Amino acid sequence: MPSIQESFHSPLRIIRAGAKVLLAGLLLVTLTSGVVLAANSNGNQTTPKAITLQLAPTSRSVTQGTSASYNVVVQPSGGFAGNVALTISGLPAGATASFSPAVVAAGPGSGSSNLDVSTTSATPLGTYSLSVKGTSGTLQSAVVVVSLTVTAGQHQPFTISGDPTGLLAPGNAVPINLQLTNPGNSSLNVTGLTVSIAGVTRTAQAVANNRPCNPSDYVVIQFSGSYPIAAPPGNSSLSGSGIPAARWPQIRMLDTSLNQDGCKGATLQLSYSGTGQGN
């Protein structure tokens, strides 16, 4: 009897051991299947759509009244394709910014735009952080910050010139179409225009015959138009500003018995002054 019991125990141990191996194999298949089901149809993990901005350079320094440019690159990822609107914040007072273009088409490749920041002569000095962002529907890029440093510029004075628009004759007044030259990058408001006679150069014949002519033989009628006069960058004039000639400064030669011959053919040296204030 003992030998018969021993022969039945051994097969049972083998069967139980085989069941454990089979169960472990089923568990391995189940876990492996879970990993496969978490992947997409191509066997790769999915990446969300996104847009990233890159700006260069990261900092610029300009003098008051000048501008700075930055290059903006819009980089798509995750299969994004669409239009991205660019915006900026943090500009200093008096400064303006423009993107060219303001809306960038990106996807599948990157798109680019040029950012131009313009300052005026009145923009406060200092270093400013400019924040640039891209938006496409509900999708937004991370904010990219670049710096702009505004320093004091070398203010060049504007100049005034002009000549009488005709020949002077005793008793007649001739208007002067003043020319304004603004070397800056922003418009000036000009006030207080004044014309004066700095000197008179007589002809050689008048000098030889001792015929006098001096500034007291002329009268200057000052500008009578409205102030301020806008002087944009570059060259402008009273006529170009739409101011009628009757309001221009005028020079009138007096009609006396002493200046008829002495002032004939004389050349006047005129001087001008005025005040220009930047916008």
What is the average per-residue pLDDT within 248-254? 95
Q: Which of 115, 141, 140 is nearest to 130 (CA)?
A: 115
Query: Is 122 within 8 Å of 36 (Cβ atoms)?
Result: no
Please report the pLDDT score of residue 119 as a whole number. 93
Percent of the chain with pLDDT over 90: 65
Please report the pLDDT score of residue 164 as a whole number. 86
C-alpha dihedral, 111 to 90 to 116 to 86, nearest 10°: 20
CA dist 42 and 213 (Å) reads 101
What is the average per-residue pLDDT within 196-214? 93
Please report the pLDDT score of residue 121 as a whole number. 79
Please report the pLDDT score of residue 41 as a whole number. 46
Query: Is 254 within 8 Å of 213 (Cβ atoms)?
Result: no
**In this structure, what DSSP letter does residue 176 have?**
B
pLDDT category at 205 given cuts 50, 70, 90 is very high
Q: What is the pLDDT of residues 9-51, one digit of tens each?
A: 444 444 344 444 444 444 333 333 333 323 344 555 678 999 9
At a CB cut-off of 8 Å and minimum separation 6, what does 83 contact? 103, 104, 105, 106, 136
Q: The pTM is what?
A: 0.48
Q: What is the pLDDT of residues 252-262, one digit of tens each?
A: 999 988 888 89
Please report the pLDDT score of residue 5 as a whole number. 45
Query: Average model confidence (pLDDT) for the chain?
Result: 84
Q: What are phi and psi of 129, to 5 degrees?
A: -100, 120
Q: What is the pLDDT of residues 78-135, one digit of tens each?
A: 999 999 999 999 999 989 999 999 999 998 999 999 999 999 878 999 999 999 999 9
